[in-house]
Amino acid sequence: MLDSKKPLQESPPPYAQLHREPGSSTTLGSSSRLTPQRATSSGNSVLNPATPQYVNRFTLHTKHNHLSGYFVVDPSLEREEKLVRARAPQNSKNRKYFDKKQRIVPNAVFSSRRGDITLNLVISEAAAPGQRSYIQTQSSSGTIYATLSDLPPKNNICFEATTKKGNIIVLIPPNFYGGLHFRSSHAQKENAVTFLPEFAKSARLVHGSDKDTFVLFGSSDLVAMDPKTKSVDLCLLTTGSGHITVGITGLDYYEEPKVPVGFWKRLFGGGKA
């Protein structure tokens, strides 16, 4: 589980500013490429690799266990499409964001029915210019944590995350250029979506309701977009009864909600109010 008092991603070392078409990042300063690090796991296994994994046409699935790791998605790696049964979009309600004539095979798929999913994700700079990488994550009752690094110039990403009961916490890169769609099935739930402070400063609301919200994030020239084009980024987050939190990698901090301590536990010294 993530440390509730630390950023999801430690401040990265300084790098030269990336100039990414069609626009650079908003006025957020330096880049935030992730540095390879040990996955948040007590050991090394297929579900929780301790070293960075370079993947393409990749699927990692479990019923009850947690998934975690550092994954570099490299579309230049030759892999058979038949290795991945999934197709984009992951959620049928997101079809309006995709060209119906296209048959899109995701570059990476992570799913767990009950376990949490904790990912550090990087798009390889070896990707050919003009490519959009498709990454899907899904959990029924687990929480999805995803930290996305700065995107290479002239490359884009489509990130889908879906849960039924679990929460979704996503940090997008500062040079994200496109749209984010948040969907919650429970309109009566207050504050179903939370924007962390730095993200909130730059996000521009296109439309919103108690169930459905779409915002733009990117340089000031981004005033409208066609989500079906590969020259923009997409982040599609859907939950049933969970909560969605969005921020910026390296700039925003996330705190785990405090669990109320029950009366009897307080009475016998098991916790503080």
- Asked if residue 146 belongs to a domain, the reply is yes
CA dist., res. 62 & res. 69, Å (int): 14
- Asked if residue 165 belongs to a domain, the reply is yes
Answer left, alpha or beta for residue 185, where phi above 0 means left and psi between -120 and 50 means alpha: alpha
What is the largest distance, in Å, between two alpha-carbon atoms of the chain?
A: 63
For residues 162 and 113, the answer to whether their CB atoms sit within 8 Å is no
Per-residue pLDDT at 25? 35
Tell me the range of 48-52, 94-98, 111-115, 256-260 where mean pLDDT is highest.
111-115
CA dist., res. 63 & res. 49, Å (int): 17
Per-residue pLDDT at 137? 93
Q: Note down the domain range covering 71.
A: 53-267
Which of 30-44, 150-164, 224-238 shows the lowest mean pLDDT across its residues? 30-44
Q: How many CB atoms lie within 10 A of CB 54?
A: 14
Please state the domain count of the chain. 1
In the predicted model, what is the mean pLDDT of residues 20-42?
Answer: 38
Coil, helix or strand at residue 148: strand
Which position has the token pair 């916490």? 169
- Asked if residue 227 belongs to a domain, the reply is yes
pLDDT digits over 128-169, tens only? 888 889 999 999 899 999 999 999 988 999 999 999 889 999
Per-residue pLDDT at 36? 35
Higher model confidence: residue 101 or residue 133? 133
Per-residue pLDDT at 266? 60
- Asked if residue 238 belongs to a domain, the reply is yes
**Is the pLDDT confidence value at 230 over 90?**
no
Amino acid identity of residue 125, one-letter, is E
Coil, helix or strand at residue 167: coil
DSSP secondary structure code for residue 162 in this structure: E
**Is the pLDDT confidence value at 30 over 50?**
no
> Across the strands, what pairs with 181?
214, 236
Mean pLDDT of the chain: 77
CA dist., res. 23 & res. 157, Å (int): 14
**Is the pLDDT confidence value at 123 over 90?**
yes
Per-residue pLDDT at 171? 96
- Asked if residue 190 belongs to a domain, the reply is yes
Per-residue pLDDT at 104? 81
Please state whether beta strands 233-239 and 212-217 pair in parallel, antiparallel, or not at all (unpaired).
Answer: unpaired
Q: Residue 82: which residues within 8 A CB-CB, separation 6 or more?
A: none
**Is the pLDDT confidence value at 15 over 70?**
no
**Is the pLDDT confidence value at 11 over 90?**
no
Percentage of residues in the chain with pLDDT exceeding 90?
A: 37
- Asked if residue 38 belongs to a domain, the reply is no
> Across the strands, what pairs with 204?
216
* Percent helix, percent strand, percent coil in the chain, to nearest 5: 5, 30, 60
Predicted TM-score (pTM) of the model is 0.77
- Asked if residue 61 belongs to a domain, the reply is yes
